[in-house]
Amino acid sequence: MKYTEKSIVELHGLLKSGELTPADLLAESLEKIHVLQDKCNAFVTIIDDAEPEAVTDSLLSGIPYGVKDLYSTKDILTTGSSNTLRDYVPFFSATAVENLDKAGAVKAAKTVTDEFGMGGTGTTGHTGIVHNPWDLDRMCAGSSAGSACAVSAGVVPFALGTDTGDSIRKPAAYCGIVGFKPTYGMISRYGVFPFASSIDHCGAFARSVADVAIVIDAMKGKDDKDMTTWDSSHIHLYDDLKPQLAGMKLCYVKELCDISHYPNPHRELREHLANFMEKMELLRANGAIVEEVSVDQALLNAQPSVYVILSCAEATSNLANLTGLIFGPRGDGETYIDVMKDHRTHGFSSLIKRRLVIGSYVLQKENQERYFKNAQRVRRLLVDRWKELYQTYDAVILPVGTGPAKHLDGSLDILDEGTSPLEEHMQIGNFGGFPSITIPDGFIDGLPVGMNITGNNYEDQKVLNIAAAIEGLMDYKDQIAREVKR
């Protein structure tokens, strides 16, 4: 049986007609989750005692899904893939999870993340590294590694992610699936472990634009517990999903996409950008207006550092509640300072500690103006520039990263000079809180690559309509990972 590889809409039809029972669907999913776990190590917790939900008119009723281990799930272990919370069982669920509970979706597993979402490799979680189901020697990217892996491998139709830099949209590309984070504040972050609150987003993975729209519809909504949420009750992403490309004005950034900007580009980068340009021609052929725009190179070069400064600064403060005093393993020591220190020293991985030191440094009185405040200013400049683009264009369309998934053994990757802005540009979507989606747009050596479409705030519907239209022109909808044999 391969029901879990089907789309949400298709599954709903089968469940409704009685051809498939929610119990059988859940059992199949759990069985495959165990098999995938042995292969890819994508899960922190497999919820073997999950109860099937009754089928209702809700499209998600009875559908099993994966939950990134940053979302609090009541009575289910939630670790943030960190030793600091290795035994933490929340007594409340994140609002987004509660909303999915109401829609009748079934939590089948908690998925591995880079520790507290702080990483882009899927290798820093306390349960070990996550392997890419297309090629076990490669990474899924991160931080939502386990969720991307599970959806890509076809063990669940959808999974939840969070996205502070590109933690949904990069893994989606590496795993050949769809990853979407809607406008900041559309989905409540209450109960989701924070990384950098001003740029943290909730979102989801699925294997088609339509499916991801269904999931976001169920997750979203104004929440009194999250003051940054806004009322989106008038927005129905799935019902109003109308693939549209004709007449749409799209732009890509010359400085990121033009191969001549990279001295001695590696083959993968060349193929990746060539594929992207080919797809731009395809869009033009189908009625879209696609134009090249130019963005100040200095601004683009500054962007990755801005991200490091802002995200690390907020993280030092957001993670300050992890002291082991109220929850988490209690540290040893004579004084409260020793007890806290012991908990944090043994709980955090070295990568997190490095980021916390950076965050603390840039917030210090004597450094704040030079680093933190300046980073905020550059963030504003970048967002303003993108907003300016949205005056003319319906969306900005760009290739994701520099090629297919990177190797887990980093020494096997060739890092091209000057590619950092191309690697990190999706963070601008976080700076501006823009709706942003990654869809697969081709293959290099049998491995998927992706493109990203980012629109203006509150234009989530438009972004999905464009993405759905582009998806329809290509052959990558509903694709399941096919392991590359070496």
Q: Contact between 345 and other proteins (CB under 8 A)?
A: no
Q: Contact between 320 and other proteins (CB under 8 A)?
A: yes
Give 134's DSSP letter.
T
Task: From 415, 368, 392, 7, select the one nearest 177 (Cα to Cα).
Answer: 7
Q: Residues in contact with other proteins, total (CB under 8 A)?
A: 46
Q: Contact between 357 and other proteins (CB under 8 A)?
A: no
- Helix or strand run (H / E) with residue 204: strand 201-206
Q: Contact between 340 and other proteins (CB under 8 A)?
A: yes
Q: Contact between 336 and other proteins (CB under 8 A)?
A: yes
Q: Contact between 246 and other proteins (CB under 8 A)?
A: no
Of 27-35, 271-279, 287-295, 322-330, the segment contacting other proteins by CB under 8 A is 322-330
Reported as half-sphere exposure (CB side, CA atoms, 13 A), residue 7 has a value of 15
Reported as half-sphere exposure (CB side, CA atoms, 13 A), residue 199 has a value of 30
User: Read out DSSP for 45-109?
Assistant: EE-TTPPPPPP-SSTTTT-EEEEETTB-BTTB---TT-GGGTT---SS--HHHHHHHHTT-EEEE
Q: Which is nearer to other proteins, 114 or 394 (CB)?
A: 114
Listed in sequence order, the residues at least 6 apart from 319 whose beta carbon sits closer than 8 Å to its beta carbon are: 116, 352, 356
Out of 243, 327, 329, 473, the residue judged to bind other proteins by CB under 8 A = 327
- The nearest distance, CB 251 to other proteins, in angstroms, is 29
- The nearest distance, CB 204 to other proteins, in angstroms, is 17
| Sign of the C-alpha dihedral computed for residues 225, 144, 472 and 19 taken in this order | negative
Q: Annotated catalytic residue: which of 143, 232, 311, 349?
A: 143
Neighbour tally for 210: CB within 10 Å: 22
Q: Contact between 88 and other proteins (CB under 8 A)?
A: yes
Q: Annotated catalytic residue: which of 6, 7, 32, 68?
A: 68
Token output for 341: 């220190």
Q: Are 104 and 61 spatial neighbours (Cβ–Cβ below 8 Å)?
A: yes
Strand stretches in 268-333, DSSP E? 289-293
Q: Are 143 and 119 spatial neighbours (Cβ–Cβ below 8 Å)?
A: yes
Dihedrals phi, psi of 84, to nearest 5 degrees: -65, -25
Q: Contact between 94 and other proteins (CB under 8 A)?
A: yes
| Sign of the C-alpha dihedral computed for residues 5, 136, 400 and 115 taken in this order | positive
Q: Which is nearer to other proteins, 198 or 286 (CB)?
A: 198
Q: Contact between 90 and other proteins (CB under 8 A)?
A: yes
Out of 49, 224, 369, 417, the residue judged to bind other proteins by CB under 8 A = 224
Active site residue 350: no
- The nearest distance, CB 227 to other proteins, in angstroms, is 5
- The nearest distance, CB 461 to other proteins, in angstroms, is 23
Binding mask 298-317 for other proteins (x = CB under 8 A): ---------------xx-xx
Q: Annotated catalytic residue: which of 72, 93, 152, 167?
A: 167
Q: Contact between 326 and other proteins (CB under 8 A)?
A: yes
Q: Contact between 321 and other proteins (CB under 8 A)?
A: yes
Active site residue 68: yes
Q: Contact between 374 and other proteins (CB under 8 A)?
A: no
Out of 23, 325, 412, 415, the residue judged to bind other proteins by CB under 8 A = 325
- The nearest distance, CB 358 to other proteins, in angstroms, is 13
Out of 3, 180, 372, 386, the residue judged to bind other proteins by CB under 8 A = 372
d(CA 36, CA 30): 10
User: Read out DSSP for 213-228?
Assistant: HHHHHHH---BTTBTT
Of 232-240, 264-272, 350-358, 363-371, the segment contacting other proteins by CB under 8 A is 363-371
Q: Contact between 365 and other proteins (CB under 8 A)?
A: yes
Listed in sequence order, the residues at least 6 apart from 6 whose beta carbon sits closer than 8 Å to its beta carbon are: 14, 157, 478
Of 19-27, 172-180, 223-231, 401-409, the segment contacting other proteins by CB under 8 A is 223-231
Residue numbers 100-159 binding other proteins by CB under 8 A = none
Binding mask 60-79 for other proteins (x = CB under 8 A): ----------xxx-----x-
Work out the end-to-end distance of the chain between its first and last CA atoms, rounded to an integer number of angstroms.
27
| Sign of the C-alpha dihedral computed for residues 466, 472, 476 and 479 taken in this order | positive
Within its chain, how far is the Cα of 329 from the centroid?
29
Q: Are 12 and 59 spatial neighbours (Cβ–Cβ below 8 Å)?
A: yes
Active site residue 181: no
CA distances 105 to 53, 71, 102, 123, 144, Å, are: 7, 15, 8, 28, 20
Q: Contact between 190 and other proteins (CB under 8 A)?
A: yes
Q: Contact between 363 and other proteins (CB under 8 A)?
A: yes
- The nearest distance, CB 325 to other proteins, in angstroms, is 6
Q: Which is nearer to other proteins, 113 or 452 (CB)?
A: 113
Q: Contact between 265 and other proteins (CB under 8 A)?
A: no
Residues forming the active site: 68, 143, 167
- Would you tell me which residues interact with other proteins (CB under 8 A)? 70-72, 78, 80, 85, 88, 90-92, 94, 189-194, 196-198, 224-228, 313-314, 316-317, 319-323, 325-327, 336-337, 340, 360, 363-365, 368, 372
